[in-house]
């Protein structure tokens, strides 16, 4: 058994990829596909931080609310958020209202704004070389942390980013296509 399961449409998917309609669309069209651009990657860093301790579906279903609340995750705009903006965000039912995560997102925007070379270059230097490791056969073959995610988290923290531990960094790497963790028989691989 490979771990890939037939979806309601007959396509083989990673086990989690057919559990809800939201997950099916996300799995098939977004997860594991390369994401580039400083603002696009900042959005993913922020959403992965908000996901910490929660299920991804909770964040996925509120993503449009997050985008509205955080000015489309434009680094330059979020970096200018002040205490009044933080208080506004704490009252916004469209997002996860966690004071520490809101403060981290604003602080991370300020760090990202000052990066020489940008966030895209910083994150993508930790991409896993395609074909350098075997494709996972089951979900049990997919790690939660890797040497690359540990190194990425360490570098982000060194630069001043918050809520970016090795597990969160690996989830970011998976979501943004820095590693391909679709199961070997998954149609999206």
Binding site residues for Zn(2+), as ranges? 14, 27, 182, 186
| CB-CB contact of 3 with 138 (8 Å) | yes
The residue annotated as part of the active site, out of 23, 43, 48, 170, is 48
Instruction: Based on the residue annotation, tell me whether 124 is a catalytic residue of this protein.
Output: no
The binding site comprises 14, 27, 182, 186
Closest Cα partner for 75 from 111, 124, 103?
111
The residue annotated as part of the active site, out of 30, 56, 80, 155, is 56
The residue annotated as part of the active site, out of 23, 26, 31, 170, is 26
The helix/strand/coil state of 38 is helix
Instruction: Based on the residue annotation, tell me whether 56 is a catalytic residue of this protein.
Output: yes
118: Cβ contacts below 8 Å, ≥ 6 apart: 38, 112
Instruction: Based on the residue annotation, tell me whether 16 is a catalytic residue of this protein.
Output: no
**Other CB atoms closer than 10 Å to residue 69's CB: what's the count?**
21
Active-site residues: which are they? 26, 48, 56
């Amino acid at each position: 058994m490979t771990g890939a399961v037939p979806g309601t449409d007959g396509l083989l998917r990673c086990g989690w990829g057919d559990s809800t309609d939201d997950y099916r669309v996300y799995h098939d069209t977004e997860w594991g596909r390369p994401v580039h651009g400083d603002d696009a990657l900042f959005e993913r860093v922020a959403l992965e931080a908000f996901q910490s301790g929660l299920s991804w579906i909770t964040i996925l279903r509120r993503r449009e609310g997050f985008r509205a609340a955080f000015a489309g995750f434009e680094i330059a705009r979020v970096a200018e958020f002040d205490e009044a903006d933080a208080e506004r965000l704490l009252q916004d039912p469209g997002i996860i209202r966690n004071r520490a995560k809101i403060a981290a997102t604003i602080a991370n925007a300020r760090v990202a704004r000052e990066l020489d070379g940008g966030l895209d270059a910083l994150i993508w230097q930790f991409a896993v070389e395609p074909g350098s490791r075997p494709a996972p056969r089951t979900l049990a073959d997919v790690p939660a942390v890797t040497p690359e995610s540990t190194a990425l988290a360490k570098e982000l923290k060194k630069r001043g980013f918050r809520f970016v531990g090795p597990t969160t960094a690996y989830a970011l790497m998976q979501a943004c296509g820095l590693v391909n963790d679709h199961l070997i028989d998954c149609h999206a691989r």
